[in-house]
Amino acid sequence: MRLSQYFLPVLKETPKEAQIASHRLMLRAGMIQQSSAGIYSWLPLGKKVLDRIAQIVREEQNRAGALEIMMPTIQPAEIWQESGRYDDYGAEMLRIRDRHDRDMLYGPTNEEQVTDIFRNHVRSYKTLPLNLYHIQWKFRDEVRPRFGIMRGREFLMKDAYSFDLDADRAREAYNRMFVSYLKTFARMGLTAIPMEADTGPIGGDMSHEFIILAETGESGVYFHKDWLAADLVTSVNYDEDLQPVVDKFTSLYARADEKHDPDNCPVSDGDLMSLRGIEVGHIFYFGEKYSAAMGATVAGPDGANVPVHMGSYGIGVSRLVGGIIEASHDDKGIIWPRAVAPFDVAVINLKADDETCTSCAEDLYAKLQTAGADPLLDDRDERPGAKLAAIDLIGVPWQIVVGPRGMKNGVVEVKNRRTGEAVEISPESALTMVMSDA
Amino acid sequence: MRLSQYFLPVLKETPKEAQIASHRLMLRAGMIQQSSAGIYSWLPLGKKVLDRIAQIVREEQNRAGALEIMMPTIQPAEIWQESGRYDDYGAEMLRIRDRHDRDMLYGPTNEEQVTDIFRNHVRSYKTLPLNLYHIQWKFRDEVRPRFGIMRGREFLMKDAYSFDLDADRAREAYNRMFVSYLKTFARMGLTAIPMEADTGPIGGDMSHEFIILAETGESGVYFHKDWLAADLVTSVNYDEDLQPVVDKFTSLYARADEKHDPDNCPVSDGDLMSLRGIEVGHIFYFGEKYSAAMGATVAGPDGANVPVHMGSYGIGVSRLVGGIIEASHDDKGIIWPRAVAPFDVAVINLKADDETCTSCAEDLYAKLQTAGADPLLDDRDERPGAKLAAIDLIGVPWQIVVGPRGMKNGVVEVKNRRTGEAVEISPESALTMVMSDA
């Protein structure tokens, strides 16, 4: 993409309304614009990162055997009345009356909707296991939306729903999602720690929140230091028994601060770490809660009808954009992990009216595209300082700076945004260096 | 994808509520399920087609220089009050009051929202031309939703908005979208005819509806027979003057029936065709209508502030799924054009408990994946007749049928869903045949 043809409205001033780093940086980098309280438009740079995150989530859901569907945003009140949640949900649910005075709502989550799909089509245990997910906008009418897209009202979420014949098989489905979440977040360059969460009246140990570590995180977390060394990306065969993998990870201590009891912690002080974290995922087994209430039954091998056992599995896709920025930025701006970066590399032409510079920058841009990279070419007629600051701000992993001084010696500057390391090398070596980091 | 692990709830019965072919076939093929009147969930097969259509739309928008953003579904009433449309829009607008009693609405379209983004960030003509689009769910509270997703309430639409300094440049933006629409629909295997549409008080010739031809179309269209032979997919350089291309196409007669006057038609009876059509796109230049009302101005080359000239460009993405089915089906089911098909080819193992059949089918399935195709393997333990009927119904372009009789002679049957032509050839030749159609 040529920056001269892009829409990247970076702000020089730090917006007053933004209290946390990700909100400030997303506004400054021209990623989002507020529409109303807690509701945002995603500008080209933000949309691109959102898409890259959603695509990683999608790929790992598919690998784990989940099937993508798309449920609507507007749901009928009836199914929520059937489950009993219509009255319970409170003011966070955006309630709507349509032109025929039917009660509708903007889905804050989709247990009822997906259970309705299931009961309409599935009759036999032979269709199981089944896991249906979608990546769709949700709405929760927060009383005080804040922190930009981190606690907004309209947000993009991946929610998956598993259906199994009994609790044992539901645990297998749960384990598949548990492992796929570790892989999903690891691919984004994040350390995500699953923490036991409340299961409510169902009880058991089948509810985990996934917390990514960030100094500016919303809540405190306590965990065994071995978590930071845990290898989360080992290859997984989802057809195998995953219980040992899950056991390995859950055997390491990890608790949110409200669940951490210093007097009864099994980890020694030397091994215990305390950092801040941000919740980006939540997986939950809830058994027959919705299937029993809504009549979602299947005939088992013995022919008897039983309510299916269900679980739900959420990932805050739009929230992750902010979460990754909280976990990865410096005073100059965002530092994107390569896997979610809006562009792989920026080619910065410091002097757009210099033929040698322009020819070299254009050549690098073309060759990067041919090599399969997604480069940004800063071909604007701007001050060098403003260009470099803007590219630092938007956090592209690699920068190739083409300037008249270097051109005299046949070199460009290649800078790694994360380490800050810069070297002057030939354009050909610059290509090799950037492409070898894919 | 293995059908045994997929969720494809095909129906044997024709649903009573469905009046038109696409609605019937989408329900029978397990593509959609109704949530409430005019609101649907997209099941895996439907979601996949929807994605493939959206991706073609996206690629052609990007090629034409439009930039993808994502505006929210819920908009504040204020911007619609500014434009004057809040009161005008009527009961089709889904009006919502949030928990703080603020007036909100579910966007039926996004002129106001995008103009608000523009006026917040663009100050100078140097940022122009600019074209921002998104592919997002819209809501129109139709008084009588019908025809499945063809006239639903919640629907997926691509809407683009162009911003230019003056009317001449706005025409260039209009022409780019005009040409990109021809390319977009042609890639989907559709004949789409642009018809002059009402421009309202603005006047001029800068409004076209794009109609695809289908016997079951909602409205009659009259057009010169040369339209059917028009080559719509010639390569286009969007940097060139596109007026000659647009003139070439608009010089051919084409009118919706309500605008066709038999007594004043320039086309001879022998050259005039009359068929049914379905509107799938609409492009529209509206000048300063929103920019003047909402203060979206830029400083021109002379420093004076002027309201920008805008146009909007819609494609009914979810509607196209139905439109393509209306244009391409037979009594056995859907016939997908290859470019939007949910799978490229189905490998049908007629006898899942036969080792030779299973080994051949698995081998074909693996080799098709390796070759880059997206195959569906029918590995279910089902009657052959039910399998063949289901695959015909869901309209996969190619079928490779592996059965015990053919296996004795070392052959499989390759069937083209559209032509119905079937040949018995070796599995290797079957691969070559299917892959050469990519």
Domain match, B222 and B122 both: yes
A388 pLDDT higher than 90: yes
**pLDDT for residue A218:** 82
- Better-predicted residue by pLDDT, A415 or A269: A415
| C-alpha span between A146 and B192 (Å, rounded) | 46
Test the A interface: residue of B74, B118, B162 with most A CBs within 10 Å: B74
| C-alpha–C-alpha distance, residues A149 and B70, integer Å | 13
Sequence-distant (6+) residues with CB within 8 A of A53 are A188, A317, A320, A321, A324, A340
- The CATH number that applies at residue B350 is 3.40.50.800
Residues B245 and B368 in one domain: no
Query: Residue A234: which pLDDT band, with cuts at 50, 70 and 90?
Result: low
Nearest to B75 among A30, A35, A121 (CB): A35
Is A121 within 8 Å of B9 when comparing Cβ atoms?
A: yes
pLDDT above 80: residue A235: no
pLDDT of B196 above 90 = no
Mean pLDDT for the stretch of residues B392-421: 98
The pLDDT assigned to B80 comes to 97
Cβ–Cβ below 8 Å for A47 and B68: yes
The pLDDT > 70 percentage for chain A reads 97
Say which range, A239-243, B197-201, B307-311, has the weakest mean pLDDT.
B197-201
Q: What is the mean pLDDT of residues A312-322?
A: 98
Does position A205 have pLDDT exceeding 80, yes or no? no
A19/A345: higher pLDDT = A345
Q: How many whole angstroms from its chain centre is CA A304? A: 41
Least confident range of A385-389, B262-266, B321-325, B326-330 = B262-266
Nearest CA in chain B to A46: B69
Q: Are A269 and A358 contained in the same domain?
A: no
Q: What is the phi-psi region of residue A200: left when phi exceeds 0, alpha when psi lies from -120 to 50, beta otherwise?
A: left
| pLDDT value of position A171 | 96
Max Cα-Cα span within chain A:
82
Q: In angstroms, what CA-CA distances link B66 with A118, B113, B159, B284, B408?
A: 39, 17, 11, 16, 56
Q: Spell out which residues of chain A touch residue B119, defining contact as CB-CB under 8 Å.
A: none
The verdict on a CB contact (< 8 Å) between A35 and B72 is yes
B185 closest CA partner among B251, B110, B279, B310 = B279
- Give residue B259's pLDDT: 86
**pLDDT for residue B40:** 98
Contact A35 B94 (CB under 8 A): no
How many CA atoms are closer than 13 Å to the CA of A202, on its beta-carbon side? 18
Query: Chain B interface, mutation test: which of A71, A120, A124, A143, most B Cβ atoms within 10 Å?
Result: A71
pLDDT at A182: 93
The count of domains in chain B is 2
Residues of A in contact with B47 (CB under 8 A): 68-70, 134
Residues of A in contact with B99 (CB under 8 A): 91-92, 141, 143
CATH number at residue A308: 3.30.930.10
CA B4 to chain centre: 29
Measured distance between the N- and C-terminal CA atoms of chain B, rounded to whole angstroms = 18
* pLDDT score of B193 more than 70: yes
Cβ contacts of A99 on chain B, cutoff 8 Å: 91-92, 141, 143
Number of Cβ pairs closer than 8 Å across A and B?
144
Smallest CA–CA distance, residue A256 to chain B, in Å, is 30
- In A, which residues are within 8 Å of B70 by CB distance? 41-42, 46-47, 50
Residue A200, token pair as written in the block: 């409510």
Residue B210 to residue B281: CA distance in whole angstroms: 5
Q: Which residues is B163 bridged to in the sheet? A: B130, B310
Mean pLDDT computed over B136-149: 95
CB within 8 Å: B42 and A5: no
The answer to whether B179 touches B236, Cβ cutoff 8 Å, is yes
Containing H/E element for A176? helix A167-187
Query: In angstroms, what separates the C-alpha of B217 from chain A's closest C-alpha?
Result: 26
My answer on whether A17 and A147 are in the same domain is: yes
Between chains, do B41 and A69 touch, taking CB under 8 Å as contact? Answer: yes
Q: Which of B85, B70, B50, B52 is nearest to B155 (CA)?
A: B50
Task: For residues B309 and B369, state if they share a domain.
Answer: no
Contact A296, A118 (CB under 8 A): yes
From the list B7, B65, B153, the residue facing A130 with the nearest CB is B7
Same domain, yes or no, for B19 and B126? yes
Whole-complex ipTM:
0.96
Q: What is the pTM of this model?
A: 0.97
pLDDT band for position A233 (50/70/90)? low
Using the 3D structure, point to which of A304, A334, A364 is the last residue of a domain. A334
More confident residue, A201 or A305: A305
Among candidates A48, A96, A99 on the partner chain, residue whose Cβ is nearest the Cβ of B143: A99
Q: How far is B143 from chain A (nearest CA, A)?
A: 7
- What is the chain B residue with the closest CA to A103? B36
In angstroms, the CA A115 to CA A289 distance is 11
Are A95 and A75 in contact, with CB atoms under 8 Å apart? no
pLDDT, greater one: B200 or B165: B165
SS3 state at B37: coil
pLDDT digits (tens, 9 = 90+) for B254-301: 988 888 888 989 999 999 999 999 999 999 999 999 999 999 999 999
What residues of B are in contact with residue A41 (Cβ under 8 Å)?
A: 69-72, 113, 117
Overall residue count recorded for chain A in this entry: 438
CA distance A125 to A122: 8
Does the pLDDT at position B9 exceed 80? yes
Instruction: Verify whether the Cβ–Cβ distance A43 to B69 is below 8 Å.
Output: yes
What is the residue-wise DSSP string for B141-205? --SS-BTGGGB-SEEEEEEEEEEESSHHHHHHHHHHHHHHHHHHHHHTT--EEEEE---GGG-SS
- Residue whose token pair is 């899950």: A246
Burial class (CB in 10 A: 0-12, 13-18, 19+), B14: exposed
Alpha carbon of A352: minimum distance to chain B alpha carbons (Å): 16
Are A277 and A421 part of one and the same domain? no
What's the pLDDT tens digit per position in B31-50? 999 999 999 999 999 999 99
Q: What is the CB neighbour count within 10 angstroms for residue A293?
A: 17
Could you tell me the pLDDT band of residue A435, with boundaries at 50, 70 and 90?
A: very high
Q: List the single residue in A with minimal CA-CA distance to B34.
A: A117
**Residue A51 identity:** D
Shared domain check, A272 and A354: no
Given the DSSP bridges, would you call strands B398-402 and B345-349 parallel, antiparallel or unpaired?
Answer: parallel
Residues of B in contact with A116 (CB under 8 A): 35
**A68-77, A193-202, B326-335, B423-432: range with lowest mean pLDDT:** A193-202
CB A63 within 8 A of CB A184: no
Residue A374, domain extent: 343-435
Beta-carbon separation of B30 and A154 below 8 A: no
What pLDDT sits at residue A219? 86
State whether B72 and A33 contact (CB < 8 Å): no
- Average pLDDT over all residues of chain B: 94
Q: Which candidate from A33, A69, A98 shows the least CB-CB separation from B47? A: A69
Q: Is the pLDDT of residue B233 over 60?
A: no
CA pair distance B39, A102, nearest whole angstrom = 13
**Of the listed ranges A188-192, A278-282, A355-359, B365-369, the one predicted with least confidence:** A188-192
pLDDT value at residue A222: 93
Q: Are residues A329 and A351 in the same domain?
A: no
- Domain co-membership, B407 together with B286: no
Residues β-bridged to residue B60: none
Instruction: Identify the CA nearest to A73 among candidates A101, A110, A115, A36.
Output: A110
How far from chain centre, in Å, is Cα A397?
Answer: 18
CB A5 to CB B94 under 8 A?
no
Closest CA relative to residue B221, chosen from B230, B213, B229: B213
Q: How far is A45 from chain B (nearest CA, A)?
A: 8
Give the DSSP letter string of A110-168.
-HHHHHHHHHHH--BGGG-SEEEEEEEEEE---SS-BTGGGB-SEEEEEEEEEEESSHH
Q: Which residue has the tokens 């619609």?
A: B80
Measure in Å the smallest separation between the Cα of A409 and chain B Cα atoms: 34
Cβ contact A96–B94 (<8 Å): yes
Q: Which residues of chain A make contact with B91, given a CB cutoff of 8 A?
A: 99
Helix (H, G, I), strand (E, B) or coil at A179: helix
What is the tens place of the pLDDT at every residue in B85-112? 999 999 999 999 999 999 999 999 999 9
* Residue where a domain terminates, one of B334, B363, B398: B334
Chain B contacts of A9, Cβ < 8 Å? 120-122
Element of type H or E holding B114: helix B111-121
- Co-location of B284 and B347 in the same domain: no
The answer to whether the Cβ–Cβ distance between B137 and A132 falls below 8 Å is: no
Whose CA is closest to B348, among B333, B365, B331, B369?
B365
**Residue A313 phi, psi dihedral angles, 5° rounding:** -145, 105
Chain A residue numbers with beta carbons less than 8 Å from the beta carbon of B94 are 74, 96, 98
If you average pLDDT over residues A327-354, what whole number do you get?
Answer: 97
**Contact list, B9 vs chain A (CB under 8 Å):** 120-122
User: Looking at the partner chain, which of A7, A42, A73 has a beta carbon nearest the beta carbon of B137?
Assistant: A73
Task: Indicate the pLDDT class of residue A36, thresholds 50, 70 and 90.
Answer: very high
pLDDT digits (tens, 9 = 90+) for B361-380: 999 999 999 999 999 999 99
Instruction: Please check whether residues A210 and A171 belong to one and the same domain.
Output: yes
Host H or E run for residue A393: helix A384-394
From the candidates B100, B104, B149, B238, which should be mutated to test the interface with A, based on the most A CB atoms within 10 A? B104
B125 in Cβ contact with B298 (< 8 Å)? yes
- How long, in residues, is chain B? 438
3-class SS of residue B373:
coil
Where is the domain boundary, A295, A310, A334? A334
Of the partner residues A67, A106, A113, the one whose CB lies closest to the CB of residue B35: A113
